[in-house]
Amino acid sequence: MLSELKRMIDQISRDRGFDKKLLIEAIEEAVASAARKKYGSRRDIEVHYNEELGEVEVFQFRSVVEEAEDEQTQIDLAAAQKLDPDVQLGDDLGERMDNIAELGRIAAQSAKQVIIHRMKDAERDVIYDMFKDRQGEVVSGIVQRFERGNMVINLGRTDAILPKEHQIPKRSFKQGDRIRALLIEVRQNSRDSQLVLSRTADDFLAKLFQMEVPEITEGIVTIMGVSREPGFRAKIAVSSTESDVDPVGACVGMKGSRVQNVVQELQGERIDIVTWNPDPAKYVYNALAPAHVSMVMVDEDAHSLLVVVPNDQLSLAIGRQGQNVRLASKLMSWRIDVKSEQRWHNLEDEGYQSLLRVNGGDEGLADQFFAKGMYNAAYLSVAAVEDLTIIRAIDEELAGQLIARAAEVAAELGLTVDERDKELVGQQGQDQVEPLSGPEQSGPNEEPALGEHDEQ
């Protein structure tokens, strides 16, 4: 038993990398617990592991009395003097228990449970120490199994979890596939997986470029920002510390080799690489690529940008379901309002502004009025109720209120209706102006809807 115990300690320490001291403490605790269960819980028992002999020594301590009433805590003076002739009344006498091999099934089970518990604790500590300084790194492993949508990844020494919410949507792996992911969390005392991975984090994209582009590792090219909609599209802004190094070209690589390696790892995620600029007005020109920008106005206080683009570039600037402007906004951490040149001219027009005053600033509603030939508040004031009720489900009560308010605004601004246009009010087609049914603005926390002229 004893030599077998020594071999077990040495093997576990060597194979698992556990501290021998922790294993010995676990064994001593297990044997002490088992001995108390076997011989009585009130016994004062101490257990020591003799490393030289490779054996466990168990001692019990009892008070020396004239006549023992409780053999678990007391020993007769006569019996004590047989063990130690110099012992006196009131002394605590320690004696070795030589029948520990007979602790039985309870002792063995108790020892096993404590050792397993301590081994798990020790293994958690080893894993934590091994990975705590690697948080934020890309790690590689093998897909081991799937648990309720989560992926369990074997990293060699231990398993990590790739939660469902950190997996790229619509991208599948099967058991045995090799996979790379970002280590985003290392837990010390978790009952579940200690290591948490992500393939959707912005930093995962940044780290992949760092692995592909030597200039980033060397500090020549710097990643200034990343925004992603994982599995679909991403934007990354880069700058260079050397004037003769093109940061975008460095990231793209010869014939696109570097960026294609990243795209392949992300299973087809489209990546826009743009040049960073400290001036937000210039930065947004790059961030909204591939769309062209006509004009930019900066509101520093509101941390927002008004961007005007050519009419035929509006859909491209906004992107499918607002994706392009949303990613640009997140990349810059600025609110971005995108408007077409036609819309901007409308907004600058006095008549259009009067319509906005009537309806409380609702550009979409003003568009509908304008499209129906109500070019300013005066035109709206002479419209029939039925001309308004067909627009955006306006009821008769609201139509009457709008017409009355339009009359007030027209009088205040001195607006009139050209007599030649009176009969046309409410009869114009819907294609005269660009309707604002879709997104023309986006902020970091907003997701615009799909506009009529957006990409499908």
Classify residue 32: in a domain, yes or no.
yes
Both 146 and 121 in one domain: the answer is no
Both 121 and 37 in one domain: the answer is yes
Question: Which residues face 273 on adjacent strands?
Answer: 236
| Cα-only R_g, the chain | 39
pTM summary value: 0.64
Give alpha helix (H) positions in 214-349: 214-217, 247-252, 257-265, 280-287, 314-318, 323-332, 341-348
- Which of 360, 358, 363, 369 is closest to 425 using CA atoms? 369
Both 453 and 324 in one domain: the answer is yes
Express each pLDDT in 4-30 by its tens digit: 767 777 877 777 666 778 778 877 887
CATH value at residue 194? 2.40.50.140
Locate tokens 């390696």: which residue? 261
Give dist(CA 156, CA 173) in Å, integer.
18
Both 87 and 159 in one domain: the answer is no
Express each pLDDT in 290-348 by its tens digit: 999 999 988 888 898 989 999 999 999 999 999 999 999 999 999 999 989 988 887 67
Classify residue 214: in a domain, yes or no.
no
Both 362 and 446 in one domain: the answer is yes
Express each pLDDT in 152-193 by its tens digit: 999 988 899 999 999 998 778 999 999 999 999 998 776 666
- Relative to beta strand 335-340, strand 304-309 is parallel
Both 375 and 447 in one domain: the answer is yes
- Which of 117, 109, 173, 110 is closest to 141 using CA atoms? 173
As a 3-state breakdown, the chain gives helix, strand, coil percent values, each rounded to 5, of: 45, 20, 35
Q: Give the burial class of 290: count Cβ atoms within 10 A of its Cβ; 0-12 exposed, 13-18 middle, 19 or more buried.
A: exposed
CATH value at residue 303? 3.30.300.20
Give dist(CA 382, CA 359) in Å, integer.
16
Express each pLDDT in 382-434 by its tens digit: 889 988 888 766 899 999 999 999 999 999 988 887 665 555 565 554 333 33
Both 90 and 154 in one domain: the answer is no
Spell out a b/e string for 246-277, using b for 16 or more CB atoms within 10 Å of the CB, else e. ebbebbbeeeeebbebbbebbeebebbbbbbb
* pLDDT value at residue 310: 96
Mean pLDDT comparison of 35-49, 118-132, 175-189, highest-scoring range: 175-189
pLDDT band at 455 (very low <50, low <70, confident <90, very high): very low
By residue range, what is the domain housing residue 149?
135-200
Classify residue 237: in a domain, yes or no.
no
- Mean pLDDT in residue range 82-109: 73
> Based on the structure, what is the number of domains in the chain?
3
Express each pLDDT in 44-61 by its tens digit: 888 888 887 777 788 889
Domain closes at, from 171, 200, 229: 200
Domain closes at, from 104, 129, 154: 129
Question: Which residues face 299 on adjacent strands?
Answer: 304
Classify residue 285: in a domain, yes or no.
no
pLDDT of 1 over the 60 cut: no
Classify residue 428: in a domain, yes or no.
yes
pLDDT of 226 over the 90 cut: yes
Classify residue 91: in a domain, yes or no.
yes
Express each pLDDT in 242-289 by its tens digit: 999 999 999 999 999 999 999 999 988 999 999 999 999 999 999 999
Domain closes at, from 157, 183, 200: 200
Mean pLDDT comparison of 31-35, 76-80, 202-206, 340-344, highest-scoring range: 202-206
Tokens of 231: 């599995």
Query: Higher pLDDT residue, 294 or 96?
Result: 294
Both 124 and 139 in one domain: the answer is no
Both 119 and 158 in one domain: the answer is no
Express each pLDDT in 61-72 by its tens digit: 989 898 888 888
The DSSP H or E segment spanning 199 is none
Q: Is the dihedral of CA 291, 292, 296, 298 positive or negative?
A: positive
Classify residue 405: in a domain, yes or no.
yes
Classify residue 87: in a domain, yes or no.
yes
User: For residue 298, which phi and psi values (nearest 5 degrees)?
Assistant: -105, 130
Both 61 and 158 in one domain: the answer is no
The DSSP H or E segment spanning 10 is helix 2-16
Both 351 and 438 in one domain: the answer is yes
Give dist(CA 284, CA 325) in Å, integer.
10
Express each pLDDT in 339-389 by its tens digit: 899 888 876 788 888 999 998 888 888 888 877 778 789 989 988 998 888
Both 183 and 63 in one domain: the answer is no
DSSP letters along 354-408, please?
HHHHHHTS-HHHHHHHHHTT--SHHHHHTS-HHHHHTSTT--HHHHHHHHHHHHH
* pLDDT value at residue 169: 87
Is it true that the peptide bond before 290 is cis, omega within 30 degrees of 0? Answer: yes
